[in-house]
């Protein structure tokens, strides 16, 4: 259930092909099938980062598992260049936050993951 959310003031057009690239990368780094991956890129009118309103982003990767000190190194190395390309921003213009969710914190099809029917 990896969920990658991006808030940005970048005006770069994001294509379905670019989202597919990002989805495949997330599948690879999390080891989870793309059928579970969701991506949201939301435009925000006003953002300020590092003393500037130049194009920036705030990203968050949430997942049940596959988030931790060693995994996050791989996520960062893989996702950073893709975000830079998609949003046309430099790597020093955004953060990626990582959130490890418990199975009972996420539901799908009306059931929490800790209590999914077989």
Taking the chain, what is the end-to-end CA distance rounded to the nearest angstrom? Answer: 17
Looking at CATH, the fold of the domain delimited by 3-115 is given as Macrophage Migration Inhibitory Factor (3.30.429)
Q: What is the pLDDT of residues 47-84, one digit of tens each?
A: 999 999 999 999 999 999 999 999 999 999 999 999 99
Q: Is the pTM of this model over 0.95?
A: no
Residue indicated by tokens 């418990």 = 102
Q: Which residues are catalytic?
A: 2
Give the C-alpha separation, 74 to 61, whole Å.
13
pLDDT of 84 = 98
């Amino acid at each position: 259930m990896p969920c990658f959310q991006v808030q940005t003031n970048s005006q770069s057009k994001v294509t379905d092909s670019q989202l597919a690239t990002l989805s495949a990368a997330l599948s690879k780094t999390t080891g989870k099938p793309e059928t579970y991956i969701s991506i949201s890129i939301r435009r925000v009118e006003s953002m300020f980062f590092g003393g500037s309103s130049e194009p920036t982003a705030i990203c968050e990767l949430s997942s049940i598992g596959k988030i931790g000190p060693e995994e996050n190194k791989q996520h960062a190395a893989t996702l950073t260049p893709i975000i830079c390309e998609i949003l046309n921003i430099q790597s020093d213009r955004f953060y990626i936050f990582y959130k490890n969710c418990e199975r009972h914190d996420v539901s799908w099809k009306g059931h929490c993951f800790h209590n999914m029917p077989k």
